[in-house]
Structure formats: structure tokens, C-alpha cells
Structure 1
Amino acid sequence: MIPAVDILDGAVVRLRRGDFSDVTRFGDDPVAAISDWAEQGAPLVHCVDLAGARDGRPDRGAWQALASAAARVQLGGGLRTVDDVEEAVAAGIARAVVGTAAVWSHGTLSEMVRAVGPERIVVAIDVRDGRARGSGWADEGRPVEDVLREVVACGVGRALVTGIERDGLLTGPD
């Protein structure tokens, strides 16, 4: 298991089922939160730039600070282009997490893999009722098995699959 730290406006938060109007705030220092996980033995922490995910513009200014934490950081949220992924990795981010936008565009995902290597890419797949969803979970989606086959065909060996119906409920792993 990989612990997670969600970040919104510089704070450590949790969104209930991805709802930006239902936010629980846990602290003001994401680097300290990552370091807390490292002290508990986590070698890697999954972080999400929620504003970046929502707005499509990642917070590049935070990348070096996050990368300086005591654990390696796997970061997602707004990483949609090859340049985004290359810059995140260059800033010290261990793994770049890209969402369904990269999967829907096979060329983009393959280019990301060529740019930074397959070990530095994780594809986030949000699932409801056996279907991979995109566009803020609003679209009809595609069968998750089909999407996973496409991800593997692009050379990616890691996928982060989230059950949308349980996201942010603190009911344990799914």
C-alpha cells in the first residue's frame, strides 16, 4: 500500500468522493505530512495536486519542495503533457501520475514513456461499475480491462485504480 497526501491551496486535505465543496482540512504543510509517512516506514507517498487536477494546470512551484521530503513522491494532478511529466521528473518527483486524458490519447502516453521511462509513469484510472471514467467522473467511460490493455501496450507497468464510489470516505482500501 502507498499512503496518500492530497493537496489543495497548499493544505493537506481530503475531498469526499472528489467533491470540492466537501473538503476536510488536515494541516498546512504537505512536506511535513509526507515526512510523517516516511517516519512510519513509507518509502513512497502518493500526492495529488487537486487544483492542478481540477484546473489542468499543475503547481510547478511546489514540485521541488515535495521532492525534498523524506519519502519519494509519486505526484499527480494536472500532468497532461509530455512537458509536464518531464518537468516533474526533472524537479525530483519519483513518479508522474497521469490520468485518463493521457490514456485516451495513445500517442501522448507513449511519448511520456519514451521521455522519462516506464518506471517513472503511473496511470491513474478512476473506476465506477467496472468502467474507467474521465472528465471529472462525468463521462460514461470504457471497460477498465480495455483501458488497462491499452496502458500496458504503451509500455506502462503501473496503474493506480481508484474506486470512485469509495474515494475520500476513509473506509479503508478498495
Structure 2
Amino acid sequence: MTIFPAIDLKDGQAVRLTKGLMDSAKVYSSEPYELAKRFEEMGAEWLHIVDLNGAFAGEPKNIEQIEKIRKNTNLKIQLGGGIRDEKTIKRYLDLGINRLILGSIAAKNPQLVSELADNYPIAVGIDAKDGFVAIDGWDKTEGIKAVELAKMYENSKIECIIATDISKDGTLSGLNIDFILDIGKASKKPVIASGGVASEDDIKKVKENNIYGVIIGKAFYEGKIDLEKILKEY
């Protein structure tokens, strides 16, 4: 199982949102690269970054901070937020990003994303509100169920799916394990659990259910979880 500490970027700062609402942003660091260095020192191998401004704008908006993180750590980085075309994918790969997360475009154009996954290291982000896919920074809901979208990627070469129950995200109320398992069954792809991690019990559930990975955000920032211990033990 892979642990993914998370850094969400808004206006150049590391923040966490509650239920994806931009006006709920709580700032945790004005120098996100320093957080990334801490994660590396704790023993993390991967880092999960979301460009929140980019997710709403549909294009990269925090590239300066992303470059700083890349230059100051040896972590493997998966990055999402505003990646909607091949040009942006190439730009980030040139910066040394290891995996690109496609969300909105993955819902709107699964065929294109499947074709991109033939040539690039792609993860699909499936974010759900009441079981339906949300896009554009979680601002809109598409009329498609998350499990139906997951099934569309069954025969693609995407590396994994990042499954987020938005109602849980940033709430410290526990993962929606059933939702994550349903996405895995539908897609037959490795799944990274996201949204609502509250304690080590959530990490245990991920491990027990043979889920590929888990993203830890607010639980670390609010001191609810001993990340260094978890990185050592899991």
C-alpha cells in the first residue's frame, strides 16, 4: 500500500478545503516546498499535489510552487488540477512530474484520456457527489455515475484511479470504503482512496481491503494522524 501525503495549492499556498469549497480554504503553509521536504524526511516516497486554482481555471495556475517542490525533493509526484490537454501533460513531464491526474477531461472525453494513457503516465481522478461525477473543481456535476465512468476505463492503460467522495473530503469523518471498492470493481484498476481520512483506522481499512493507496491531507495537518509512524508501519 502506498501512502500519498497531499499538498493542495491555492494562490501559491498549501491549503485544505472542506467538501471542495474554495471559500473554506484553511492555509497551512506559505512555502509548500518546505512541507514536501518534511514529508520526504518522514519517509514518504510519493506526493499528491492538486493545483486548486488550476482545477477551476482549466489551466496551470501554481506552476512556480510546483517547480519549487520538484527542485527541492526527490519525491515521486502525482499532480492534478487544470490538466486538460497533451501540451500541459508534456509541460509537466518536462518539469519532472511522474504521474498526471486527469479529472474533468476524463469525465468529458474518456476516449481522449484513454488514448493519452497509451503514451503518458496517467491517473484518472473520479470525484463524486452523491454517486455522480463532479468536474471543474467540483463546481459542476455531470449526469453520469462514478462507477459507470470507472467502467469506461477498464480496458485502458491508465495507471490507477483516484476515487474521492466529495461529501467526505476535508471533513475528518472517515473514508467511504464501499465507494472506493465499487470504483475498483468497476474499473479493474488499482485505486487510491481519497476524502475523509480521519485516523489510523482508515489506513487499516485501506490495507485490509487491498486498496493500492491512500491520500492523507487534513488528518495530518490537524494532527489527527502520526504520518511518520504510518509511513514506517504501512
TM-score scaled to structure 1, two decimals? 0.88
Q: Do the aligned residues in 2 keep the contact of 1:99 with 1:123 (CA within 8 Å)? A: yes
Q: Do the aligned residues in 2 keep the contact of 1:63 with 1:92 (CA within 8 Å)? A: no
Residue in structure 2 matching 1:66, options 62, 65, 69:
69
Q: Deviations over 1:93-122 (max 9, x none)?
A: 011011032332123202321332xxx211
| Match in the other structure for 1:33 | 35
Residue in structure 2 matching 1:170, options 160, 172, 177:
172
| Match in the other structure for 1:75 | 79
Q: Do the aligned residues in 2 keep the contact of 1:106 with 1:154 (CA within 8 Å)? A: no
RMSD value, Cα? 1.8
| Match in the other structure for 2:155 | 153
Q: Do the aligned residues in 1 keep the contact of 2:134 with 2:140 (CA within 8 Å)? A: yes
* SS at 1:89 equivalent: helix
**Which region of structure 1 is more displaced relative to structure 2, 37-46 or 127-136?**
127-136
**Which region of structure 1 is more displaced relative to structure 2, 53-62 or 78-87?**
53-62
1:6 paired with 2:11, answer no
Residue in structure 2 matching 1:95, options 72, 96, 99:
99
**Which region of structure 1 is more displaced relative to structure 2, 83-92 or 138-147?**
138-147
Q: Which ranges of structure 2 fall in alignment gaps of 5 or more residues?
A: 177-234
Letter in 2 for 1:26: Y
**Which region of structure 1 is more displaced relative to structure 2, 163-172 or 62-71?**
62-71
**Which region of structure 1 is more displaced relative to structure 2, 160-169 or 141-150?**
141-150
Partner Cα distance (1:75, 1:157) in 2 = 13
Q: Displacement, 1:28?
A: 0.8
Q: Displacement, 1:164?
A: 0.6
Q: Do the aligned residues in 1 keep the contact of 2:133 with 2:141 (CA within 8 Å)? A: no
Larger radius of gyration: 2
| Match in the other structure for 2:44 | 42
Partner Cα distance (1:27, 1:61) in 2 = 15
Partner Cα distance (2:161, 2:40) in 1 = 22
In 2 relative to 1, CA 70–170 (structure 1 residues): closer, same or farther, beyond 3 Å? farther
Q: Which ranges of structure 1 fall in alignment gaps of 5 or more residues?
A: none
Q: Do the aligned residues in 1 keep the contact of 2:107 with 2:133 (CA within 8 Å)? A: no
Partner Cα distance (2:104, 2:153) in 1 = 10
| Match in the other structure for 1:127 | 128
Q: Do the aligned residues in 2 keep the contact of 1:82 with 1:111 (CA within 8 Å)? A: no
Partner Cα distance (2:152, 2:115) in 1 = 14
Q: Deviations over 1:52-74 (max 9, x none)?
A: 01111213444432222242111
How many pairs are equivalent? 171
Letter in 2 for 1:57: E
* SS at 2:119 equivalent: helix
* SS at 1:3 equivalent: strand
